[in-house]
């Protein structure tokens, strides 16, 4: 389930791309499939091992264009091991809300982005996230959990002050917000609750079958209660 719109990011075959906080690799795989030269960057070595295995499987299955490359790198978001201007595109999806020193992380992203390059940052949207926090302490009060809730204005200001231009905003996963409200209401770990189970089946149906009715519902709900906010930025030439 992708959060970032790669057309809005300006992704093209041959672009060198950093997926910062790649996690299980959902955005890395799609960018690799589109012909980019991808680095999946994360601090979790175990997840990166799985990402690397799938990169290899994609190559062997002929799912990527000739010449596209992909690799993984374990490291610290506050000290990216790359020179200035290394990347054409950067994706930082659902990661800044976990990092105490978010400004330092943003400074690093701005540093390694080339002039003229683009950055997509996604975080939980303010309203759906506030509802989750009010319904459940366990939702965010866990090791490595969410430590802040961004407004669009706050996050935009933090990135713009690091020298980038804000060029667009999008919202995603409108169908997912009600699911998390249910989870927070009945217990975040209570996957066996009938209402949580039923809604989860709807989301699985959406992801696996992509029925037109749910696609339409998502397009209607994304701008209203989309769980994720995606901000797009460009580094001036």
Does 196 fall in a domain?
A: no
Q: d(Cα 179, Cα 139) in Å, to the nearest integer?
A: 13
Could you give the CA distance from residue 124 to residue 104 in angstroms, rounded to a whole number?
19
Copy the structure tokens of residue 128.
């759906």
| Domains contained in the chain, number | 1
Q: Residue 142 falls within a domain, yes or no?
A: yes
Rounded alpha-carbon distances, angstroms, from residue 23 to 128, 199, 224: 22, 24, 27
**Domain range for 98:** 6-174+222-234
Tens digit of each residue's pLDDT (9 = 90 or more) over 166-179: 999 999 999 999 99
**Is residue 200 in some structural domain?**
no
Could you tell me the CATH number of the domain that includes residue 149? 3.40.50.150
Residue 54 pLDDT grade (very low, low, confident, very high; cuts 50, 70, 90): very high
Residue 51 has pLDDT above 90, yes or no: yes
40 pLDDT exceeds 90? yes
pLDDT over threshold 90, residue 117:
yes
**Would you state the pLDDT for residue 187?**
95
For residue 195, being part of any structural domain is answered with no
Measured CA to CA, the distance from residue 6 to residue 36 in angstroms comes to: 11
Residue 186 lies in a domain: no
Q: Are 126 and 153 in contact (CB under 8 A)?
A: no
pTM of the full predicted structure?
Answer: 0.95
Would you say residue 126 has pLDDT above 90?
yes
Is 216 domain-assigned?
no
């Amino acid at each position: 389930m992708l959060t970032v719109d790669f057309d809005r990011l300006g992704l093209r075959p041959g672009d060198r791309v950093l997926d910062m906080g790649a996690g299980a690799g959902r955005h890395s795989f799609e960018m690799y499939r589109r012909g980019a030269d991808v680095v999946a960057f994360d601090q979790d070595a175990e997840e990166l091992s799985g990402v690397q295995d799938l990169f290899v499987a994609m190559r062997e299955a002929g799912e990527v264009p000739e010449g596209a490359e992909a690799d993984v790198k374990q490291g610290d978001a506050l000290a990216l091991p790359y020179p200035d201007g290394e990347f054409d595109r950067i994706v930082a999806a659902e990661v800044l809300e976990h990092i105490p020193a978010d400004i330092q992380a943003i400074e690093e992203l701005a540093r390694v982005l080339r002039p003229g390059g683009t950055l997509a940052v996604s975080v939980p949207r303010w309203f759906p996230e506030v509802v989750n926090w009010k319904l459940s302490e366990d939702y965010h009060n866990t090791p490595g959990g969410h430590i802040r809730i961004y407004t669009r204005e706050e996050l935009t200001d933090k990135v713009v002050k690091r020298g980038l231009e804000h060029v667009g905003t999008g919202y995603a996963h409108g169908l997912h917000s009600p699911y998390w409200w249910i989870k927070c209401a009945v217990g975040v770990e209570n996957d066996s609750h009938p209402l949580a189970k039923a809604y989860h089946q709807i989301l699985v149906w959406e992801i696996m079958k992509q029925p037109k009715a749910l696609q339409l519902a998502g397009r209607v709900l994304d701008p209203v209660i989309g769980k994720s906010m995606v901000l797009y930025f460009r580094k001036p030439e």
